[in-house]
Structure 1
Amino acid sequence: MSMEVLQPGLLSLLQDTGRFGQQRIGLTTGGPLDPEAFTLCNRLLGNEAKATLIEVSFGGLVLQSKVNTYICVTGAELPLQINGREAALWQVHKVCEGDEIKLGFAVSGCRAYLGVADGFSIPEQFGSTSTVSREKVGGLEGDKLQAGDLLPCPTHHHRTLRYLPEAWIPKYARDITVRVILGYQQKHFSPLQQRRFFSSQYQVSERCDRMGYRLKGAAIHCSLDGILSEGICFGAIQIPADGQPIVLLNDRQTIGGYPKIGSALSLDVARLAQLTPGATLNFEAITSYAAHNALHLEHYRLQHLPLLEGQA
């Protein structure tokens, strides 16, 4: 009872909600780059919140089902076909043994999530199934999916066919605003440097991956040449010697020695991770109080979005 990978696409990784509490031994969190799309995929399928899905970067994944089950694809806008017939995203579909599931390449956003009823049955490592290829942990032998891989999943003969109404489907823009909570090292960035950072537009460079997004734009300078290596949080914005910001993501290193002007709000980091090279963004300072409010409101919104039954 499994799905067989016929074509793995550019980068397809098994992910659950992430690996937490392991930074002390050098393991980063991993997990979905877009938690909103990940969460809604599991909600539509009626899965547990932590159920393991496939994160598909840019597209190109082709699977053959060897089991009767239900699937759902959320996230980036890309073509979905089941046995050559177009199927809707953000909607649950029944698949049978022998069916072929094909994801084309993204035209808006770049991270999509393919889930099955009850998730893929992958053993946990250090409390999570999330794949971090650099550390060779999680997923199947700690690596991205390869042609011929078999992804175990249970048989399901009945699942409610739910869909997310069009009005609630996220739109992935090419120009976003990233909210930033200033960090304790902000005093080492002069008022002029801070104004430059928050008033400039930055462009996503070619050097972007699950570890971090390197940006191009106005160079920011810090009075510190470097710092002793210290723990790094998700969304930390490092300023290396060339002054070009780096926003750190799920597969970031656990420690680092570049000064950090602050940390990006996790909700906006998810939108950042849907950007492709050449897209633009600007930064906006917010308080930690405003950040907490935004997170609580988003959690409530996700849990109460109206999921309808039937076909969209």
Structure 2
Amino acid sequence: MSFKVIDPGMIALVQDGGRAGYQHLGVTTGGPMDEHAFDWANWLLGNPRGSAALEITYGMLVLEALSDMTFALAGADLGATLNGKPLLPWQQYQVQAGDRLKFGTPENGLRAYLAFPGGIQTVARLGSAATVTREKLGGLDGSGKPLQRGDRLLSMESAVAEQRAMPDWAIPDYSEPLKMGLILGYQYECFSITQRMKFFTAPYTVTSNIDRMGYRLQGEPVASEQNGIISEGIALGAVQIPQDGQPIVLMRDRQTIGGYPKIGCVFSLDLAKLAQRKPGDIVEFRLMDVAEAENRRMLYDRQFNH
């Protein structure tokens, strides 16, 4: 069961659950920008959690089926069509040999996930197929390359164990206002009460300077009492405040250490929502305590661990 890449589009990357345990060596985790959509795409096919799937950013990808197969589509609506007929995300689909799957441009959201039965066949590097192009790790052959014209995507299994349908409550609307939970930490005490109030009450605009490494936001500048710090480890979702006062939210391909003051860390499931926002979208921050974060994470994980 396989697809051939006719046109790789803007950028399409193989991602699995991420490359854990190597940040002390300077190797970042990688993994899906939108964990929620990635997990549900695999769930639709009954795949083990973290199975390798395709992350399609912006669209323009064209695939041709080389055999009859099943796939699942989740995440952003990138104007996907099958032989010219529109497809909606958050569903399973069947294709026959010769069918063409095409993606247009974003209609709602920015990143879609394409999952195959059992996952995509890959060559693992450091225990993962997560593609980090900067580090030349992951992807189909382990070299860190995005999809190329002529590549073949092979599924690990030939059939789907059972037909599944998404619960309505689990389907997000990426056009909804986004207020991200921020867990305090790092250099939070280095920001005055006035600066903290500005940060939590001002809206921020997603700029065009966004990628898998970080999202730069534009809005009310926030000043730290420290201009810099000794470089330290950086967690997923850390919010750096450089000298211009404009927040940078660090994403899946972030550097492993950094020396900018950080006001806190965005909760991971809210970070997944940020990954679907486009330049010009408005986002805000709110205080979140660790207990709320742990509760939301536990409830989320239960959907896939049982």
Coarse TM-score class (shorter-chain normalised): over 0.9
* Match in the other structure for 1:224: 226
How far did 1:166 drift? Answer: 4.2
| TM-score, with length taken from structure 1 | 0.93
Conserved 8 A contact 1:67-1:154: no
Show the counterpart of 2:98: 98
What code does the residue aligned with 1:126 have?
A: L
Aligned to 2:180: 178
Specify the alignment match of 2:14 in structure 1. Answer: 14
Please tell me whether the aligned partners of residues 174 and 275 of structure 1 are also in contact (alpha carbons under 8 angstroms).
no
Q: Which runs of 5+ in 1 are unaligned?
A: 305-312
Q: For structure 2, which runs of at least 5 residues remain unmatched after alignment?
A: none
The alpha carbon displacement at 1:155 in A equals 5.9
Aligned-residue identity in percent: 44
Tell me: CA distance 1:21–1:98, structure 2 relative to 1, closer, same or farther (3 Å).
Answer: same
TM superposition shift of 1:50: 1.9
Task: Give 2:282's aligned residue.
Answer: 280
Question: Which residue number in structure 1 is paired with residue 43 of structure 2?
Answer: 43
CA distance in 2, matches of 1:116, 1:292: 31
> Given the superposition, is the C-alpha separation of residues 243 and 163 from structure 1 closer, same or farther in structure 2, using an over 3 Å criterion?
same
- Residue 90 of structure 1 aligns to which amino acid in structure 2? W
Offset at 1:293? 1.4
Match of 1:56 in 2: 56
Instruction: Return closer, same or farther for 1:102/1:200 CA change in 2, 3 Å cut-off.
Output: same
Deviations 1:68-116 (A, max 9, x none): 2211110002322222223332111122222211122221110100111
Contact 1:70 1:94 in 2 (8 A): yes
Partner Cα separation in structure 1 for residue 126 and residue 303 of structure 2: 30
Name the CA distance, whole Å, in 1 between partners of 2:153 and 2:196. 48
Question: Which amino acid letter does the alignment assign opposite residue 30 of structure 1?
Answer: G
Task: Work out the CA distance in 2 between the residues paired with 1:138 and 1:44.
Answer: 24
Total equivalences in the alignment: 304
Question: Which AA in structure 2 matches 1:151?
Answer: L
User: Which of residues 260, 269, 272 in structure 2 aligns to 1:270?
Assistant: 272
Task: Supply the distance in 2 between the matched residues of 1:165 and 1:187 (Cα, whole angstroms).
Answer: 42
Q: Contact 1:56 / 1:111 at 8 angstroms: preserved in 2?
A: yes
Deviations 1:3-52 (A, max 9, x none): 21111111110000111101011110110011111111111111111211
**Equivalent residue of 1:163, what SS?**
coil
1:234 has 2:236 as partner? yes
1:73-88 maps to which residues of 2 (within 5 A)?
73-88=73-88
Q: 2:196 aligns with which of 194, 197, 201?
A: 194
Larger CA deviation: 282-291 vs 146-155 = 146-155
CA distance in 2, matches of 1:158, 1:252: 35
Give the partner amino acid of 2:57. Answer: S
2:147 aligns with one of 141, 145, 148: 145
TM-score (norm 2): 0.94
Q: Which amino acid aligns with 1:37?
A: A
More off after superposition, 245-254 vs 176-185:
176-185
In structure 2, relative to structure 1, the CA distance for the partners of 1:263 and 1:157 (3 Å cut) is closer
Distance 1:28 1:291, change over 3 A: same
For 2:67, what is the secondary structure of its paired residue?
Answer: coil
- Assess if the C-alpha contact under 8 Å between 1:68 and 1:156 holds in 2: no
Task: Write the distance in 1 (CA, Å) between the matches of 2:160 and 2:17.
Answer: 25
Is the 8 Å Cα contact of residues 8 and 145 (structure 1) preserved in structure 2? Answer: yes
Q: RMSD value over aligned CA atoms?
A: 1.6
Match of 1:307 in 2: none
